[in-house]
Every structure is written in structure tokens, then in C-alpha cells.
Structure 1
Amino acid sequence: MSLTSQQKYWRKRIFILTWLAYAGFYFGRKNLSVTWSSMEVDLGLDNSDYASIIFVNSLIYTIGQFLNGYLSDKFGPRKIVSIGLFLAATVNFFLGMSFSIGIIVFLIALNGYGQSTGWSGLIKNMTPWYRSNERGIVMSWWSTCYVTGGFLATVFATYVAFDMDFMSELTWRRGFIFPSIVLIAIAFIYLLFTRNSPKSIDLPVIIEAKYNLSDDGKPNNIKLLKILIKNKALWIYSSCYMILKMTRYAFLFWLPIYLEKGLSYNVNEAGYISSVYELIGFFGVILAGYASDKLFNSKRFSTVSLMMIGLAVVCLIHPYMVSFGKIGVILSIALIGIATYGPDSLICTAGSMDVGGKKGAGMAAGIINGMGSIGQMFSGFIVVAINEAYGWDNLFNFFVVMAFTGGVLASLKWNFKSPEKHQ
């Protein structure tokens, strides 16, 4: 069935607004890794403090993922995501005013909760507008929100914290204050202009619900949860995503520090070169989406499996690329970005939508991203432990083993495909 002009208009509008919202979240997330080296010196902190801060942030983020997936399905994503955006903006402003580790940890925890409303809520927001046979491509372009958002946030935080002349006496604190201003503007835009579904503005529905759970058409969340937790595809996605998110957040939080301390780059070089991970990771997102829809007929697991094995290969060769200087490092970081972001985006967007369907997309995304956040939660301690005991090169060997394991797991559901029907 063809779409009406109003449906087409609103699909584009929701795409843009949800893309902007999640890209915005990164302005309140990436600034910590960029400013940490300066915070260490100013506040007398060390890498163990950093690992603990990441753990607290990730713990609250993980809990929030499970909770906010349910809340987005129950109360609608517009309300839940807006609360998260405003909370993250407020917390980041006050992080720029903080002088003690205790206050920083408390604010980072609040930021973790605000950030946790974003993914499951925005996946829920997108699901009613796009059919399963177009999600691979559509969501690959949509997933550039967290690649592009992360890149822009890294560059912006580096500039305002270290290169901008305005309010120079605040130094690294500007890396929190100015991103909070960007985030509050995005919060207002999202709240005012987005809507939850075609039904909420009296448009015809675009997809049928995957699960018919009640006579009045409203989902029974307990029944839905029971159905989801029995789905093997959900748990394989969750396991793969735990590995990917552990790896991705190790790079997001530690790559500038590795470049500065491990390879002796200055703070500006480390900040800008680390942004290549996300900048080129953009192409991995697009590649994964087109491959899953065009080459594998919307079978996501096949693409995930191949790209995770590719990630194992590029992590294996990274220590050898360092000998070629900055060009070799940049090329290696770019390849790791492609091989990380491709399967990462596919699992947590089209994969979550396929497993959860229209009514359960928020909950499925919350479970998958929540399980992934467990990997994120421990990534800081893993980085510190392996680096201090065996050095940076062996950290990459650890990623080789993890990525290969994920590739094998994904291959177990090679032919899985969403059973949803389209209008």
C-alpha cells in the first residue's frame, strides 16, 4: 500500500527530529573523555578515578535502559526522551561548575540516567513510521546520528575546552558548559515538534503490530515482556551487543588517552585524531544497512557476523600499523570504526525493531541496549587492568577474541528475519 503525502512528510520530520535528538545526547557524553586529562591535573585524579566514574555512569545508564524501554512503550517516547534531554543538559552545565570528585560522580550518575532515555525511546519513536523491509537502509542512515553526533561532539568539546579564546579562564570547564547549551536547544526542538506515531496525529497506520496482545489494541506489557524474553534472537543480539558496546566505549572513552599517553601525542592531536573513529565509522553504518537489506534480504545477523569477524582482523593488525606513524594510526582507527559501528548500529536499530515489532520496539531496544551497557559498564576496568598488566597492544588482542566470539554467535541466527506485516 502506497503512503499518503502526509505520511511521507511526517516520516521525514520524525526522522530528522529523532536523529537530531540522539546526536544531541552526545554533546553531553563525549566531553568527559576529551577533558579528562586536564581534569586529572586540575583536580588531582588518575585513571582509576576515571574507570570508577565510567562504571557509575554505565551502571545507572544500564539500569535506565531497561526501565526507559518499558516507560517509552507505556507513556510514549516524546515525553520520556524530552525529560532525558533536559536532565542531561542541566547536569552538564553543573559539571562545568564542579570542583570535587564526589559531586562529579553524582552528576555523572544523573547524566547516565538522562542519557539512558535516548536510544530505546527514539527507536520506539521511529518504529511505527517505517516498515521492516526498509529498516536496514533507513536505520543505517538514521544511525549516523550517534556516529556524526559523537564526531561533532568530540570536535566541539575539544575546540571550546582548549582552542577557544572566549572565557579562557574556565579551561576544561567550557567543555561541559557550552555543550549543555547546545543540548538544551535540541531538547526544546524535539519536545515541540515531534509526535509518537501516525495514530497520534490521526494518520493511517503504516505497519501492523507484530504481537496482538489485547482486544482493544493496546499492548499488555507483561505479556509482551514474556514473549520477548523467550525469543532466542533477542539474547543473541544482546550478547553480540554487549561485546560491541564494551569495545566501542573502550574506544570512545579511552582512545584520546591512549593516543596521548601510549603514543605520546599532545592533547589537541589526541582529541582530533580520536574523532576519526566516529567520522569514518559513519561509512560502516551505511555499509551494514545496505548489506543487510540488499545483499541478505533484511537478514541482519549475517551482516553482523561478517563485520564482527572483520573487527577481529583489524584489531589484530592495529599494533603493527602504529609503526607507520600517524598515517598508519589514523587508517587503523578508521577501519576499526567501520567494523565497530556497522554491526553496532544494525543490532540496536533495525535488529531491535525486527525483534520487538511496533508495540515492543522500545522494550526490545531497552533490553538489547541495557545488556550492551553491561559491557560498557566494565569496559573501563578492563582497559585499566589489561593496560597496566600487559600494555596497550595486548588490549587490542583482547578485542580480537571478543569480536571473533561475537561473530560466531551471530552466525547461529544467520537466516533470522522479521515476520511483521506491512500496510
Structure 2
Amino acid sequence: MELTKEQKYWRKRIFALTWLAYAGFYFCRKNLSVTWSSMETDLGLDNSDYATIIFIYSLTYTVGQFVSGYLSDWFGPRKVVSVGLFLAAIANFFLGISFSLGIIIFLLALNGLGQSTGWSGLVKNMTPWYRSNERGIVMSWWSTCYVIGAFLATVFATYVAFDMEFLSELGWKRGYFFPSAVLLVVAFVYALFTRNGPEGINLPIIVGDKYVTTANGTAGNREILKLLIKNRALWVYSSCYFILKMTRYAFLFWLPIYLEKSLEYDASQAGYISSVYELVGFFGVILAGYSSDRLFGSKRFSTVTIMMVGLALTCLVHPVLVGYGMAGTLISISLIGMATYGPDSLICTAGAMDVGGKKGTGMAAGIINGMGSVGQMFSGFIVVAINENFGWDSLFEFFVIMSLLGGGLAALKWNFKSPDRYIN
């Protein structure tokens, strides 16, 4: 069915607004890793405190993922994500005036709850607007929201916390005040201008649902959840995402600290260098999307397998590459970024949409991202344990093993393609 002019306009509008919303979330997520060394010194904290903070943040984020997916399917993503955006912005602002470990943990727990509404809700928001055979490519471009968002957030937090002359007496605290202001603006824009689906603005439906009916008529959320739980592909995606998100958040929270404490760059250099992880990771996202749709006919697991094996190989040679100075470090971080973000984006966007359908995407994305967030939750303790007992290089060896395990799991579903029964 040919799309109308209004449908095409709204697809672009929803794409832009949801992209902006998730990129905005990162302004109140990446600033912690950038400012931690300074906070640690000023507040008398250490790496064990940092691991605890990450655990509590990740715990609320993980629990919130499962709940937010269900709520987005029930109440619609516009309401759920809007609340999350405002909550994350407010909690982040008060982090700039925090003065104890307990207060930091409480505020980051609130931030985690707000952040947890983002992914499942926004993927749900995109689902009614794009057909399944478009999603690999469309969602690869859309997934750049968290790659570019993380890059911009890292650079922005580094600049306002360390290099900006305005309010210089506040120091690292500016790394919370200004990002929260950015997210507050994004929250208002999203809440005012987005819509849940075509039917909400009297436009023809673009896609139907593969879970349309049951023996008793239209499937409700509980019936769809039961069908999802029985879907093996969902659990393979979730297992791979557990590994990928554990790896990605280890880099997200610890890369600036590793660069500063192990490779002896100063705080500003470490912040800017670490941003390359997301900057070049952008190309991995696009590569994964085109590969899954064009090379493998929308078979997502094939691309996931290849890129996770690539991640293992890159982590294996990382200790050698950093021996060549900044150039080698930048190359290694760039390759790791591509090999991480590529399969990561594919699983939690097109993969979740394929498995969940129009009615169940929020729940599918919530389950996949929630399982991934369990890996995220323990990533800080894993980094501290391996680093303190065996050194930083052993951490990369650990990622080699985990990436090969994830690639092996994905290979079990190499030829899987979602049984698409969408109305096109």
C-alpha cells in the first residue's frame, strides 16, 4: 500500500522526535563517567563506591526496563517516556549539589528509573510507523541516537565540567547542571509534539500486528506476553544482549577512568579520547542494519554472530595496539566501538520489533533490554574485581571469552527470520 503524504510526514517527525529523545537521555547518563575522578577526589570516594553506584543505578534501570515495556504497551509510549525524561533531568540536576555517597546513590536510582522508560518506549513509538522489511535499515539509522547521543554527551560533559570558563568556580558540578538543562528542553519537545501511532491522529494504519487474534478474539497484553515468553528467539536475543550490554557499559562507565589511570592521559584527554568509542561506533550501527537487510534478508542473527566474533578479535589485540601510543589506542577503541554497537543496536531495535510486533514491541524490548541491563548491573563489580586482581589487560581477555560465547549463541539461530504476518 502506497503511503499518503501525511503518513510520510509523520514517519519523519516521529523518527526525529524519538531519536532526539533517546540521544537526550545520554546527556544525563554519560556525565557520571566523565566527572567521576573529580567527584572521587572532592567527596573522598573510591572505585568500590563507583561500582556500588553503578550497581544501584543499573538495578533500578533493570527493574524499570521490564516495567516500562509493559506500561508503554498499556498506556502508550508518549506518556511513559515523557515522565521518564523529566525524572532523569530533575534527578541529574540535584546530582550537581550532592555531597555524600548516600545522596548520590538515591539520585542515581531515580535517574535509572527515568532512563529505563526510554528504550522500550521509544522503540514501541517507532513500531507502528515502519514495516518489518524496512526495519533493519531504518532502525540502524535510528539507533545512532544512542551512539551519537553518547558521543555528544561525552564531549559536552567534558567541556562544561573542565574547559568552559563560565561558572568555573563550580568545577565538575557543571557537568550535571548543564546536561540536565539540555534534557529538560528535550523532554518538553517530545511531550508536546510526538504521537503514539497513526490511528491516534486519524491516519490509515501502516502496519498491523502478528498477534492480532487469539481463540477468544483480540489478544490482550497478558496473552501477548505469554506468546513472547515462549519465543526462543527472544531468549537468544536476550542472552546475547546480556553480554553486549555488560561489555558496552563497562566501556561507557570505565573507559575514561582506564585511559586516565592505566594509560596516564589527563582527565580532559581521557574524556575526549573515550568519545571516539561512540563516534566510530556509529558506523558499526549502520553496517549492522544494512548487512541484516541487504546481505542476509532480514536475518538478524547472522550479522550478530559475525560482529560479536569481530568484537572478540578486537579485544584480543587491544593490549598490543595501545603499545603504539595514542594512534593505536584510537584505532583499538574505534574498532571495539563498531563491533559493540553494531549487534547491540540490531538486537534491541529491529530484533525486538520483529519478535514483539506492533502490540508487543514494548514488552519484547523491555525483556531484551532488561536482561541486558542485568549484565550492565554487574559490569562495575566485574571491572573492579578483574582490574584489582589481574590488571586492566585481563579485563579485555574476559571480553574475548564473553564475546565468543555470545557469537556462539547467535549462531544457533543463524537462519532465523521472524514469521512476519504484518498487514502491509
Cross-structure match for 1:253: 253
CA deviations on 1:172-206 (whole Å, 9 max, x unpaired) are 00000000000000000000000000111111111
Contact 2:209 2:423 in 1 (8 A): no
Contact 1:213 1:224 in 2 (8 A): no
Separation in 1 of the partners of 2:108 and 2:184?
17
Percent identical: 75
- Give the aligned residue type for 1:422: I
Cross-structure match for 1:5: 5
- Secondary structure of the 1:414 match is coil
Cross-structure match for 2:345: 345
- Give the aligned residue type for 2:423: H
Cross-structure match for 2:317: 317
Counting only pairs closer than 5 Å after superposition, residues 150-169 of structure 1 correspond to structure 2 as 150-169=150-169
- Per the TM alignment, residue 218 of structure 1 is displaced from its structure 2 partner at its CA by 5.8
Cross-structure match for 1:238: 238
Contact 1:213 1:223 in 2 (8 A): no
The 1:130–1:108 alpha-carbon spacing in structure 2 relative to 1, beyond 3 Å, is same
Cross-structure match for 1:59: 59
Cross-structure match for 2:419: 419
- Give the aligned residue type for 2:251: F
Aligned length in residues = 423
- Per the TM alignment, residue 106 of structure 1 is displaced from its structure 2 partner at its CA by 0.2
- Give the aligned residue type for 1:282: F
Cross-structure match for 1:206: 206
Cross-structure match for 1:292: 292
Deviates more, 1:359-368 or 1:206-215: 206-215
Cross-structure match for 2:129: 129
| Runs of 5+ unmatched residues, structure 2 | none
- Secondary structure of the 1:210 match is coil
CA deviations on 1:63-85 (whole Å, 9 max, x unpaired) are 00000000000000000000000
Cross-structure match for 1:224: 224
The 1:216–1:191 alpha-carbon spacing in structure 2 relative to 1, beyond 3 Å, is farther
Separation in 2 of the partners of 1:181 and 1:218?
43
- Per the TM alignment, residue 422 of structure 1 is displaced from its structure 2 partner at its CA by 3.5
Is it true that 1:98 corresponds to 2:98 in the alignment?
yes
Separation in 2 of the partners of 1:287 and 1:376?
24
The 1:217–1:193 alpha-carbon spacing in structure 2 relative to 1, beyond 3 Å, is farther
Cross-structure match for 1:68: 68
The 1:217–1:262 alpha-carbon spacing in structure 2 relative to 1, beyond 3 Å, is farther
Cross-structure match for 2:86: 86
CA deviations on 1:356-393 (whole Å, 9 max, x unpaired) are 01100000000000000000000000000000000000
Counting only pairs closer than 5 Å after superposition, residues 8-19 of structure 1 correspond to structure 2 as 8-19=8-19
Separation in 1 of the partners of 2:54 and 2:327?
30
- Per the TM alignment, residue 212 of structure 1 is displaced from its structure 2 partner at its CA by 1.8
Give the superposed CA RMSD.
1.0
Contact 1:162 1:172 in 2 (8 A): yes
CA deviations on 1:80-112 (whole Å, 9 max, x unpaired) are 000000000101111111111111100000000
Counting only pairs closer than 5 Å after superposition, residues 378-417 of structure 1 correspond to structure 2 as 378-417=378-417
Contact 1:281 1:340 in 2 (8 A): yes
- Give the aligned residue type for 1:5: K
- Per the TM alignment, residue 207 of structure 1 is displaced from its structure 2 partner at its CA by 1.1
Give the structure-2-normalised TM-score.
0.99
Cross-structure match for 1:262: 262
Separation in 2 of the partners of 1:364 and 1:137?
19
- Give the aligned residue type for 2:411: S
- Give the aligned residue type for 2:84: G
- Per the TM alignment, residue 213 of structure 1 is displaced from its structure 2 partner at its CA by 3.7
Give the structure-1-normalised TM-score.
0.99
Deviates more, 1:363-372 or 1:406-415: 406-415
CA deviations on 1:280-306 (whole Å, 9 max, x unpaired) are 000000000000000000000000000
- Per the TM alignment, residue 214 of structure 1 is displaced from its structure 2 partner at its CA by 5.9
- Secondary structure of the 1:68 match is helix
- Give the aligned residue type for 1:12: K
Counting only pairs closer than 5 Å after superposition, residues 139-218 of structure 1 correspond to structure 2 as 139-213=139-213
Separation in 1 of the partners of 2:357 and 2:219?
11
Contact 1:136 1:292 in 2 (8 A): yes
CA deviations on 1:334-362 (whole Å, 9 max, x unpaired) are 00000000000000000000000110000
